[in-house]
Amino acid sequence: MDILNPSRMTDSAGVLLINFGEPETTSLGEVVPFLERIFTANSRLEPGDDPESERLRSRMLAKQRAPSLARSYARIGGSPLNAQALEQARMLSSELASRGVEVPVEIGMQFTEPTIEDAITRLRRHNPKKIAVLPVYPLCGPSTTVASLASVTTTIESLGWEPEILEVTGWHRHPDYHSLRARTTQNAAQDAGLDLNTETDRLLFSAHGTPIRYVREGSRYVKYVEEWCKAQGQTLGVHNWDLGYQNHSNRKVEWTQPSIEEALQSLAGVKNVLVDPVSFMHEQSETLMELDIDLRDEAAALGIRLHRVPVPHDDEAFSSVLADLVLMALGQEVRGIHTLTRCRCRPGATVCFNGA
């Protein structure tokens, strides 16, 4: 989509992309702190008597989980998430420049380096008066989009800095993003020789799981996942599809259902399954290990041949979507987008498609 009335904002604005982050090596010295940060950030799922007991439990859980995760990273040759995220930042910067807008673009990870604080420190050197903050999470959730934006606000306030923070929250309804993912799925089906409207071939959407407690507290993540799958099915002309969640069993909490394993088992008798990882905008352990290896093995045991839709992390259409979101946050009009709403998940967000 083309920007209307482009203008240069080099001296007045900056962009902060937020990603999850993953360790780039199999070192337990890197994997344990990564997991500990995640468990600590979600400690209220199993609240302790005091912060110290919660910290100790997070450390214990991280140590228990780390060896198996390190083995997963070894099997996939290391996580490519961080490298892909850095390339997305480069592509976004190039796309913005092509539209006549040159601004510094920095990237911060929630759970690895470079941290959100690192990215904000680098941005501050440019002294922008406005910062467009864009989490690269298509489907808004409490532990990803909402938590990362809250972290940005807290970090900037702790520095005594007062730029205008322009947040982007729910954006999976961006029409070009919807078209991009549908095209990617359609191409994957064609490459595999599949007809997803036959009894032998099936489309299976896979979404990252979320604790049911978050849903009960008001998270709309599951609603967005189901809405997304329905809309993609309609665009693809696929009449019957299934949905499963990639849950994590390392915490004794209730997760979204059905799990991706249960969804696959329900398709026994189908010959081919095409899995589309709808929650992800990078290839990472959840796609390269959990789907390409673990789930493929389970499918083989059921007599099913599993195929997967690649994540279009480096598609030029995606960098165009990110540029649209940044420019809308900065107050620019973007041709073809007229229905932005007040965010229900993060009140005060600048750009959201999900409030209506």
- The pTM for the full model equals 0.93
Answer yes or no: are the C-beta atoms of 135 and 149 closer than 8 Å. yes
Domain identity same for 70 and 179: no
Domain limits for position 253: 175-308
Reduce the DSSP state of residue 108 to 3 states and report it.
strand
Nearest-10 crossing angle of helices 221-236, 175-191:
60
Tell me the DSSP string of 122-136. Answer: HHHTT--SEEEEEE-
Domain identity same for 180 and 302: yes
**354 lies in some domain:** no
Q: What's the confidence (pLDDT) of residue 356?
A: 59
How many domains is the chain built from?
Answer: 2
Answer yes or no: are the C-beta atoms of 136 and 85 closer than 8 Å. yes
**153 lies in some domain:** no
Say how far apart CA 87 and CA 145 lie, in whole Å.
20
Q: 130-135 and 201-208: which strand pairing?
A: unpaired
Q: What's the confidence (pLDDT) of residue 1?
A: 37
Max CA-CA distance within the chain?
Answer: 61
**159 lies in some domain:** no
Domain identity same for 58 and 181: no
Q: Which residue, 75, 110, 142, sits at the end of a domain?
A: 75
Tell me the DSSP string of 287-330. Answer: HHTIIIIIIHHHHHHTT-EEEEPPP-TT-HHHHHHHHHHHHHHT
**162 lies in some domain:** no
Say how far apart CA 352 and CA 170 lie, in whole Å.
5
Stretch (H or E) spanning 66:
helix 51-75
We report the CATH number of the domain holding residue 259 as 3.40.50.1400
**282 lies in some domain:** yes
What is each CA distance from 43 to 4, 23, 58, 155, 347, in whole angstroms?
A: 45, 21, 7, 20, 23
307, burial (CB in 10 Å: exposed 0-12, middle 13-18, buried 19+): buried
Q: Which residue, 12, 47, 75, sits at the end of a domain?
A: 75
Q: What's the confidence (pLDDT) of residue 339?
A: 66
* Residuewise pLDDT in 10s, the chain (356 residues): 333 334 455 459 999 999 999 999 999 999 999 999 999 998 888 766 678 888 898 999 999 999 999 999 999 999 999 999 999 999 999 999 999 999 999 999 999 999 999 999 999 999 999 999 999 999 999 999 999 999 999 999 999 999 999 999 999 999 999 999 999 999 999 999 999 999 999 999 999 999 999 999 999 999 999 999 999 999 999 999 999 999 987 677 899 999 999 999 999 899 999 999 998 999 999 999 999 999 999 999 999 999 999 999 999 999 999 999 999 999 998 988 866 788 889 988 889 988 75
Domain identity same for 62 and 184: no
Say how far apart CA 183 and CA 325 lie, in whole Å.
20
Q: Which residue, 265, 291, 308, sits at the end of a domain?
A: 308
**218 lies in some domain:** yes
